[in-house]
Amino acid sequence: MAAGTPNKTLWTVVALCGLSVAFDGYDLVVFGTTVPSLLAEWQIGPAEAGRIGSYALIGMLIGALLIGTVTDWLGRRWTMIACVTWFSALTALCAFAPSPEVFGLLRFLSGIGLGGLMPTAAALVVEYAPRGKENITYTIMQSGYAVGGILAASLAIPLIPAVGWQTMYLIGAAPVLVIVPLALRYLPESLEYLVLRGETAKAEALAAKLGVPVPEVTRPEKRSWYSSIRELAKPGFRAGTVLLWLASLCALLMVYGMNTWLPQIMRQANFPLGSALSFLLVFNVGSIVGSIIGGRAADRIGSKPVLVISFLLAAVSIATLAARPNIAAIYILVAIAGYGTIGTQNLINAFVTRYYPVTARSTGIGWSLGVGRFGAILGPVVGGLVIASGAGFQWNFYLFATVAVIGLLAAALVPLSPALADDRLRDAIKTELKERTA
């Protein structure tokens, strides 16, 4: 989108997408906050709790791959509204689950909607972001993810002891009551989608209403729902696709592993429950502050070097936690780890949405997140197995730090995208023409 995108249009999209993503973040952390209660109430072990935690992530994997692909074909606005409605209703139903089996099934089904939400919101925000500020705009929106995590951690401390873990899932009904009505009224459709569908009149009318230009998008002559998938494997994109998938897998393994097990790991290290949950709160606060700083840096010096530094910070901070330093140092390291994990994934998402051409934007981020969900599935499972093995709490930190190093190497090897090269050439030509006519 052009640099002249009106603030009202831009922040309407950012706010509605950010609110929706906040409940994705809430869902991520809510399971971690309720794990100790579930272990006690249903008399299950850490390994089984880890498996239950992975069910929602399997659903997210399916949702990201399926919904992320068809979004470029069906439209971004209605896809996002449908995803929010779906996951909100099913999250609330988790409060009434009579057994671990039913709870796991509901978590799986809600995960499908959550998996489809992220690529859709990402594509919309990057489309409406001012040119040259895509990373910072996206990370501001994506900070809603950590805000949701903070909300879950903050509410869990007083609510779980007072009224039980079920209340935490009932709060998940809020999006369908609050966000969906606002999105139906205010969220615009993707102009890129309308142009690609050949609905030029609708695109021009919406652009005039929003006060933005119609995007310059070349419409392919023939296009099916799987056309955008083929673009991910084209020469020039193939190596980057695989490496970005690996980086996303590593980041999401750390995000879900740490958010699920950080309270329990800290309890193993002899911290009380309230203090252990406070670490989860700091973890998510650190990700917000770091994401905004990282997004601004990525717009100035490029996404790739910032991603490498972010993975490095994750590796160092998490490995140092294994030494159990003093309490002040632990809080600082946990905050840095929050940025190095959640913040790194936010930067990967922003990078991926710009790495591919417009015709494959939602599909690219959908498949990156979809493959990354394998890491998200492994995080809670492997973390639970390490705890169940009786090994010291340090070994989970060693595991996550090693994953960060692998992600660092993957990010460092990502080649320049032909789409980004074309954008830079186009911007250079426009700048030169302006200077000549000035």
Q: Find all residues with CB under 8 Å of 427, minimum gap 6, and list them.
A: 131
pLDDT (0 to 100) of residue 259: 76
CB atoms closer than 10 angstroms to residue 370: 26
pLDDT (0 to 100) of residue 436: 45
Q: How far is CA 290 from CA 18, 72, 260, 335, in A?
A: 17, 30, 21, 9
Q: Which two tokens stand for residue 283?
A: 């973890």
Instruction: Identify the DSSP state of 221.
Output: S
DSSP states along 372-394 = HHHHHHHHHHHHHHHHHTT--TH
The span from the CA of 369 to the CA of 39, in Å, is 29
305 and 354 Cβ atoms separated by less than 8 Å:
no
Instruction: Identify the DSSP state of 99.
Output: S
The span from the CA of 425 to the CA of 431, in Å, is 10
pTM for this entry: 0.73
Q: List per-residue pLDDT tens for the chain, 438 residues long.
A: 444 556 777 788 888 998 998 988 888 678 878 888 888 888 888 778 878 877 887 888 888 778 766 776 777 888 899 999 999 999 999 999 999 899 999 999 999 988 888 888 888 888 887 777 778 888 888 888 878 878 887 888 888 888 988 999 999 888 888 999 999 998 888 887 787 777 778 888 887 887 777 776 665 555 555 566 777 778 788 888 899 999 999 999 998 888 777 777 777 777 655 566 678 778 888 888 888 898 889 888 888 999 999 999 999 999 998 888 888 888 899 999 999 998 899 899 888 888 887 777 777 887 888 888 888 888 877 887 887 777 777 888 888 999 999 999 999 999 987 766 545 444 443 444 444 455
Cα–Cα nearest to 33, from 281, 395, 255, 254: 281
pLDDT (0 to 100) of residue 72: 64
pLDDT (0 to 100) of residue 413: 94
Q: Which two tokens stand for residue 175?
A: 């999006």
What are φ and ψ of residue 337, in 5° steps? Answer: -65, -35
